[in-house]
Amino acid sequence: MKRFFTLLISFFFGGCSSDISKHTISKIPEASDISYCSNTQTLVVANDEGRFYEITAEGKILSETYLGKYDLEGVVCEKGRFVFAVENGYILTVERQTLKQNLIPIVNMEDISKKHGIEGIAKIGSDYVISIQSKNKKGAMLAMLSLTDSEAIVKKTIHHGIIDSSGMDCRDGKLYIVSDKKDKLYIYDIQNNEILQKAPLPAIATEGVALDDDGNIFFADDNGAVLKYTLKELDIQTKGSGK
């Protein structure tokens, strides 16, 4: 009987490991966030060591760039630049053609506890939203930013109650927020402060999420990988929430 349960456990966890391996498309150390670049149909992956990688949707690494001693915790890919969230309270913009950097302080951070770090960034309209990671619902929040070349101003904070939010993406005004602790994806309506859907995720160290234009969803895994699934595989409903 003991041997039976040993074999059963081995089969179960071996199957999970095999499934994750099947969906791993790239190996990137300490991957902390990921963003889809619509104009080039590529992905940019940030890591905790101040590097970013541009990869294809199939996982081929096209470039690797070292920016400096930054703990990059979030990234948004725009047509002409990358916008990174730095854990200690800065926004770093990098021009895609020249790699020119601009380090911008975030001001009006009084409502954000120093014990809770920045763990993701997304763009909504002309503003940006950063995720403030917390192990409890009370401290779990978003901060809306207005960004200029000299400062990022906190316009308001929103308490969403999603524990350990580690990364997010925005599609059609809805936020797709991942929780590392809960291994879940939350589709969140920021205007109405409402969670529209919860979807279970593979048991990985999820640090970032990105959706492309073809029904795929990508995850940055802190253990050193980028994973690719279809929305259908994970039973994620995007009707009225995404593209």
Tell whether the model's pLDDT for residue 124 goes beyond 60.
yes
For position 152, which CATH number holds?
2.120.10.30
Tell whether the model's pLDDT for residue 153 goes beyond 50.
yes
pTM of the model: 0.87
Residue 218 falls inside a structural domain: yes
Structural domain including 205 reads 26-230
Of 109 and 68, the structure prediction assigns the larger pLDDT to 68
**Sheet with 194-200, side-by-side order of all strands:** 165-171, 174-179, 184-189, 194-200
Contact 205, 33 (CB under 8 A): no
Residue 236 falls inside a structural domain: no
pLDDT tens profile 164-192: 888 999 998 899 999 878 889 999 999 89
The band of 242, judged by pLDDT with boundaries at 50, 70 and 90, is: very low
> Coil, strand, or helix at residue 23?
helix
Number of domains the chain is built from: 1
Residue 9 falls inside a structural domain: no
Cα 169–Cα 22–Cα 43 angle in degrees, nearest 5: 35
pLDDT tens profile 3-58: 444 434 333 434 455 588 899 999 999 999 999 999 999 999 999 999 999 999 99
Instruction: Compute the mean pLDDT over every residue in the chain, rounded to the nearest whole number.
Output: 87
Q: Is 189 exposed, middle or buried (0-12, 13-18, 19+ CB in 10 A)?
A: middle
Q: In angstroms, rounded to a whole number, what is the distance separating the alpha carbons of residues 43 and 49?
A: 18
